[in-house]
Amino acid sequence: MKLLLLLFMSPLLVITALQNTDGSTINQSLSYIKNSTQNSKKSVLVFSATRGFRHASIPDGIKALQKIAARNNWELTATEDSSIFNNETLKKFHAIVLLNTTGNVFGKNEEAALQQYIQHGGGIAGIHAAADCEYDWPWYNQLIGGYFESHPAIQSATIHIKERHPATAHLGSSWIHKDEWYNYKSLSPAINVLLELDEKSYQGGKMGHSHPIAWYQDFDGGKMFYTGLGHTSEAYQDEKFLMHVENGIREVMKK
């Protein structure tokens, strides 16, 4: 009972109360306080390995995500070592960001670990080439929601905001942005579209009147967010894009 009361008291009261308890209770209480502080900090894994095209903007993307993590008090781990995809290590992350990953970046066991992570309520945010990755893994296709098909030259385009969501709330009803605009194949019918490209506003769109460029879904026990933006280094200096990414990541985080 005394321990329970301690847990709900302010830190000052806890210290006062601890003076009246024996050593073991103090240790238990202190370790509870320590754990609860650690648990309140969200951990984010940024993975940017490439086995195909390598985006020159990856270091800028990591820097921008570090800035986002700092202002949210998230603990950020950035790596290109796929061995981090094991059940024990993934467990500690509240969200995984796939930053411009390309090609077959995961081994079989690593795929199984990512699958288990999602099935246990994990969250994943894919940026741009996260859709240009793992083409021979149908589960990944469903998770990310589509595969890269082609792209025209980098140019400005008009984006229409299709759904009010934390990742789009700051954007108004349309947004003009310069990027490398992906056409997609194998789009999942389960995705909820956040942003749609206006193909009349640029050259080289191939998807007709409905061209999703950012979306989210609940999938296989977890949550995912994907944005097709994020090819250029300039994007990672663009506060509108960074807020889109930041709020997209926050939405998929394990509580």
Round to the nearest angstrom and report the end-to-end CA distance of the chain: 27
Q: In angstroms, rounded to a whole number, what is the distance separating the alpha carbons of residues 59 and 236?
A: 10
Q: Is the dihedral of CA 170, 93, 54, 144 positive or negative?
A: negative
**Minimum distance between the CB of residue 248 and Zn ion, rounded to whole angstroms?**
18
Cβ contacts of 189 within 8 Å, gap of 6 or more: none
Give 219's strand partners: 222
Q: Which residue, 1 or 153, is less far from Zn ion as judged by CB?
A: 153
**Minimum distance between the CB of residue 234 and Zn ion, rounded to whole angstroms?**
13
Q: Counting contacts by CB under 5 A, is residue 177 touching Zn ion? A: no
Using CB under 5 A, which of 134, 179, 180, 246 touches Zn ion?
180
Q: Which residue, 231 or 250, is less far from Zn ion as judged by CB?
A: 231
Q: Which residue, 43 or 102, is less far from Zn ion as judged by CB?
A: 102
**Minimum distance between the CB of residue 39 and Zn ion, rounded to whole angstroms?**
37
**Minimum distance between the CB of residue 151 and Zn ion, rounded to whole angstroms?**
7
The residue range among 40-48, 215-223, 226-234, 242-250 that interacts with Zn ion, by the rule CB under 5 A, is 226-234
Using CB under 5 A, which of 211, 231, 244, 250 touches Zn ion?
231
Rounded to 10 degrees, what is the CA torsion of 251, 196, 101, 64?
-60
The residue range among 29-37, 44-52, 57-65, 225-233 that interacts with Zn ion, by the rule CB under 5 A, is 225-233
Within 10 A of 223 (CB to CB), how many other CB atoms are there? 19
**Minimum distance between the CB of residue 55 and Zn ion, rounded to whole angstroms?**
6
The residue range among 11-19, 28-36, 68-76, 175-183 that interacts with Zn ion, by the rule CB under 5 A, is 175-183
What is the enclosing helix (H) or strand (E) of 69?
helix 58-72
Q: Closest CB to Zn ion belongs to which residue?
A: 231
Q: In angstroms, rounded to a whole number, what is the distance separating the alpha carbons of residues 18 and 155?
A: 63
Cβ contacts of 201 within 8 Å, gap of 6 or more: 156, 157, 158, 176
- Among residue numbers 92 through 121, which ones bind Zn ion (CB under 5 A)? none
**Minimum distance between the CB of residue 219 and Zn ion, rounded to whole angstroms?**
24
The residue range among 85-93, 173-181, 233-241, 242-250 that interacts with Zn ion, by the rule CB under 5 A, is 173-181
> CB–CB of 84/98 below 8 Å?
no
> CB–CB of 176/159 below 8 Å?
yes
Chain residues binding Zn ion by CB under 5 A are 180, 231
